[in-house]
Amino acid sequence: MRDVYVAGVAHTHFGEHWDHGHRALLLEAGLGALQDAKMSGDDIDAAYLGTMGSGAFLGQEHIAPMLMDDAGLAGNHIPVTRVEAAGASGALAFRQAYLAIASGAADRVVIGGLEKMTDVSDQQANAIGSSAIDREWELANGATKVALHALIAKQHMAKHGTSREAFAHFSALMHVHGARNPLAQFQRATTKERVMAAPFVSEPLGVFDCAPLSDGAACVVLTSERAEGRIRVAGSGHATDTMRITDRPSQTAFAATRVAAERALAQAQHEIHDMDLLEVFDTTTVGGLLALQDLGLYEPAQVGKAILDDAITYGGDVVVNPGGGLKARGHPIGATGVAQICELTWHLRATAGDRQVAGAKRGLAHAVGGIGSSSLVHVLEASA
């Protein structure tokens, strides 16, 4: 397997884009990533797109070749592959592209992540989002994604002494981070008190515990060619688990995250504690807390306290989600996994501006599909 490098990254502003369609969003991110890579479309020999619900959100399947065509790249007849793993769709596209280059099947690949969620009603958008869980066995019985996260939160509180404040403080930290990210959907800091005062979505999780509905696109260019300023993909891990959390021995840990992290870190020959920053998948605050635990950063009984102690922000143990995470940056589903790579890259290049994690050399990105049914972990490292 060959070494693979991140050559270019870009993502659009995440948020409600009433004046930009899905075509315009992906085009903006794609041209941005190519420009950043100092490449043209003709340099690209394969493409991967991660999108969860283009069929349901836009009535458009087979969207990957369509978007390549919109970008003016149809003429070279390159192989273009769409993948889907719910919230992990973008991360899965990144992994498939990584494997294509590592194996020698391609040399320069562009990866897109996309979701346009606001062209349907909020109710429809939430229903599509919840199609990541088992429709017949979970959804039909009244469970939604947030309701299942709320059950996990309650169990974590009962079993490990985690406090409601810890979830709320996680959210507040994400909003503090997002306030420094001009591409974030929410750029205003908030406090844990305000998070706790917000209306419940599913008790104990409130509105501020949940990632928003968002439009956005993100693109990354990967290459086999090493060059100054390029960031090496040091490890890639992908694991799955049962579809339903009720079928697992524990409901307060995602084994898929643990296994994916073990695989990626083993390949990278690093420990989780070697990371300078993490991009973790906080569709809810409890999701973010689980990630810190399942990635091996903190013991279940310690993770809540670590959050409350500001161990996961600037000046702490490790900076988590400096761009604001799904909570504040926004969560255009298929785009998120690719945007995480953008954020890591900016820090590892030391070009993250106001929110730069000082001296960042290594970062990890973590994405989840469904309620821990798929997990992908990637380790990126600044070239020496």
Amino acid making up residue 81: T
DSSP state of 47: E
CB-based contact 86:367 (threshold 8 Å): no
- Residue closer to its own copies (CB basis): 348 or 379: 379
**Taking the complex as a whole, how short is the minimal distance between the CB of residue 292 and its own copies, in angstroms?**
20
- Residue closer to its own copies (CB basis): 131 or 144: 131
- Residue closer to its own copies (CB basis): 36 or 84: 84
**Taking the complex as a whole, how short is the minimal distance between the CB of residue 51 and its own copies, in angstroms?**
9
Distance from C-alpha of 260 to C-alpha of 377, rounded to nearest angstrom: 6
**End-to-end Cα spacing for the chain:** 20
- Residue closer to its own copies (CB basis): 244 or 270: 244
For 271, counting Cβ atoms within 10 Å of its Cβ (0-12 exposed, 13-18 middle, 19+ buried), the class is exposed
The size of the chain, in residues, is 384
**Taking the complex as a whole, how short is the minimal distance between the CB of residue 228 and its own copies, in angstroms?**
27
DSSP state of 352: -
- Residue closer to its own copies (CB basis): 99 or 189: 99
Beta strands 215-223 and 108-116, pairing class: antiparallel
CB-based contact 267:378 (threshold 8 Å): no
Strand partners, 146: none
**Taking the complex as a whole, how short is the minimal distance between the CB of residue 242 and its own copies, in angstroms?**
4
- Residue closer to its own copies (CB basis): 87 or 323: 87
Distance from C-alpha of 202 to C-alpha of 147, rounded to nearest angstrom: 5
Distance from C-alpha of 57 to C-alpha of 99, rounded to nearest angstrom: 29
**Taking the complex as a whole, how short is the minimal distance between the CB of residue 352 and its own copies, in angstroms?**
30
**Taking the complex as a whole, how short is the minimal distance between the CB of residue 165 and its own copies, in angstroms?**
32
Please report, for residues 137, 152, 293, the alpha-carbon distance to residue 246 in angstroms, rounded to integers and kept in the order given: 10, 11, 20
Element holding 155 (H helix, E strand): helix 145-160
Instruction: Summarize as ranges the residues that interact with its own copies (CB under 8 A).
Output: 1, 52-53, 55-56, 58-62, 64-66, 68-70, 74, 77-86, 92, 96, 99-100, 102-105, 127-128, 131-135, 238-244, 247, 255-256, 259, 369-370, 373-374
**Taking the complex as a whole, how short is the minimal distance between the CB of residue 249 and its own copies, in angstroms?**
10
- Residue closer to its own copies (CB basis): 94 or 186: 94
